[in-house]
A and B are shown apart, each in its own frame.
Chain A
Amino acid sequence: MSVSSVAVAVLIGIGVVIELACCIGVLVMDDAYDKLHYLGPAAIVGPLFIAAAVVVAEALSQAGIKALLTAVLLIVASPVLSHATARALYIRQRDHIELDPRSQS
């Protein structure tokens, strides 16, 4: 067993454990705001480890570049989605969103 295959297995293992832990976190947390916190590591840390594993296995070939691209897309999309979801929940709970007081003066 080569060093690279051990590194790949370790990286994949860490990535999968992070994803599963975040899935369990989404399940056990009480409300949607708490659940939203678990989307962050699932979309940022996990894909980075998996993409790193692909790059270690394939170098910067077509597969490695596409894996990195997928990880970057998830990393960019995650904060946008979390913000949009939290904003939707906030508006649903209060029926409106308060304007910034600085903009009214």
Chain B
Amino acid sequence: MNVWLIAATVLLAGLIPCGVVMLRGSIVEALVGLQMAGIVQTIVLLLLAEGFHRPPFFDLAVVLALLTLAAGLVFARMLERWV
């Protein structure tokens, strides 16, 4: 267990407030919680990739950062128009 893996484990606790907001808040607040969770997960993947010394794992973080943007835009557009 190195400092990267410890940080990743600690940072995973940040998903709990995001989950609470998603479950208890309004639908737009839930979207904010989802975006926050995406950011936290991206950083956790960065920390895990470095902690396990697996450079290819960094690709997961890059892809998740892109998908977080795309998913957030799609949800925001949908909430704006239809839901």
Contact = CB atoms under 8 A, between A and B. Distances in A.
A95 B22 CA distance: 23
B29 A16 contact: no
Nearest to B4: A12
B62 A16 contact: no
Per DSSP, chain A at the interface is helix
Contacts of B46: 47, 50-51, 54, 67, 70
Interface residues of A, number: 49
Contact of A73 (B16, B49, B66): B66
Interface string B11-31: 101111110110001101101
A78 to B, nearest CB: 8
Given A80-B73, A87-B80, A88-B28, A42 B58 contact: no
Contacts of B47: 12, 50
A73 B77 CA distance: 20
A23 B14 contact: yes
Interface in A79-93: 80-81, 84-85, 87-89, 91-92
Contacts of A5: 3
A83 to B, nearest CB: 9
Interface in B48-80: 49-50, 55, 58-59, 61-62, 65-66, 68-69, 72-73, 76-77, 79-80
Given A42-B39, A85-B31, A91-B80, 17 more contacts: A8-B3, A12-B3, A24-B17, A26-B32, A27-B17, A27-B21, A32-B31, A35-B21, A35-B25, A39-B32, A46-B39, A47-B39, A63-B49, A66-B58, A73-B65, A73-B69, A88-B76
21 contacts: A12-B3, A12-B4, A15-B7, A15-B43, A19-B11, A23-B15, A26-B21, A31-B29, A32-B25, A38-B36, A39-B39, A43-B39, A46-B43, A63-B58, A66-B59, A66-B61, A67-B58, A70-B65, A77-B72, A80-B69, A80-B73
